[in-house]
Amino acid sequence: RKEVEQDPGPFNVPEGATVAFNCTYSNSASQSFFWYRQDCRKEPKLLMSVYSSGNEDGRFTAQLNRASQYISLLIRDSKLSDSATYLCVVKNWAGTALIFGKGTTLSVSS
């Protein structure tokens, strides 16, 4: 079983749609969780950290369920500029490395 698993998509949605991405992780000792965004042929960039209480940043909401080892990202009112690959990321138990999922591709069309 891969350490971080996510549905690769692609998700094709119209502008204004709400879309949700899900991710599971295998190591219950993991302490830090993130969503990164990666545009085509660019480097990954931190979108947001994910906390147990859930957190929101504008149109983006991230949730963490430690019992189920499940992480989610909700994007409301999708924009064309949201088109990218969204990477679910867990910090390893030693705190020395990020473990990435394969990424979920989102395409927002007008």
Partner 1 sequence: GAGVSQTPSNKVTEKGKYVELRCDPISGHTALYWYRQSLGQGPEFLIYFQGTGAADDSGLPNDRFFAVRPEGSVSTLKIQRTERGDSAVYLCASSPPAPLAGGTTDTQYFGPGTRLTVL
Q: Rounded to the nearest whole angstrom, what is the least distance from the CB of residue 43 to partner 1 in the complex? A: 4
Q: Rounded to the nearest whole angstrom, what is the least distance from the CB of residue 21 to partner 1 in the complex? A: 13
Cβ-Cβ contacts under 8 Å for 6 (sequence gap 6 or more): 21, 22, 23, 24, 88, 101, 102, 103, 104
Q: Is 43 an interacting residue with respect to partner 1 (CB under 8 A)?
A: yes
Q: How many residues bind partner 1 (CB under 8 A)?
A: 24
Cβ-Cβ contacts under 8 Å for 53 (sequence gap 6 or more): none
CA–CA distance, 100 with 97 (Å, rounded to integer): 10
Nearer to partner 1, 46 or 80 (CB): 46
Q: Rounded to the nearest whole angstrom, what is the least distance from the CB of residue 5 to partner 1 in the complex? A: 11
Residues in touch with partner 1 (CB under 8 A)? 4, 8, 32, 34, 42-46, 49, 87, 89, 91-92, 94-103
